[in-house]
Amino acid sequence: MATSEAELKTLMIGSLDGDALSHGLLLRALVPLLQNFYRRRVAGADVDDLVQDTLIAVHTRRETFDRDRPFTAWLYAIARYRAIDHYRRRRQTVAIEDVEAILVAEGFEEATNARMDVDNLLLTLSPKQARAIRDTHVDGKSVAEAAAGAGIGESDVKVSVHRGLKALSARIKGSSR
């Protein structure tokens, strides 16, 4: 399943070029990303509705995507506006501390660049360590969910995360372990 910026952008460009398979794969790949995005911002059953609304918006507004820009910045901007519309429809009040997290209007390019940096760092690890870190620290899955998804034990996920983070820390500090 496509999850990196490059993979998602390739699928989006294929979709724009009329490749129905790329379009279908893109929409399927976006479901878990959007579910994680909305789970952090919206309560319960509304998550599935928002994911569906966002997928429809991606489909109907795909011609607005600029091929020279990061795909995930465009995607999360749409998702953010879907969340805002959700709160408006529900006329829910939000604690002032949560407004920034919901209405972040700037910084998506920086977030996308950070995501690309994380992707590049994870490429330096073994696939097992990279997946464990991505699942638990990037995608927000529990250790149990990560273990089930990878078909390994929970302790194996914990060890992979620990060793992977230790290796990344050494690389970032300039050590060549």
- The segment with the largest mean pLDDT, out of 12-16, 95-99, 130-134, 168-172, is 12-16
Which residues touch 142 (CB under 8 Å, ≥6 apart)? 136
Between CA 41 and CA 114, with CA 116 as vertex, the angle to 5 degrees is 60
pTM value is 0.52
Whether residue 156 is predicted with pLDDT greater than 60 in this model: the reply is: yes
**What are the structural domains of the chain?**
1-104 (1.10.1740.10), 124-177 (1.10.10.10)
pLDDT digits (tens, 9 = 90+) for 16-70: 999 999 999 999 999 999 998 888 877 666 888 899 999 999 999 999 999 999 9
For residues 141-167, average pLDDT? 92
Whether residue 95 is predicted with pLDDT greater than 80 in this model: the reply is: no
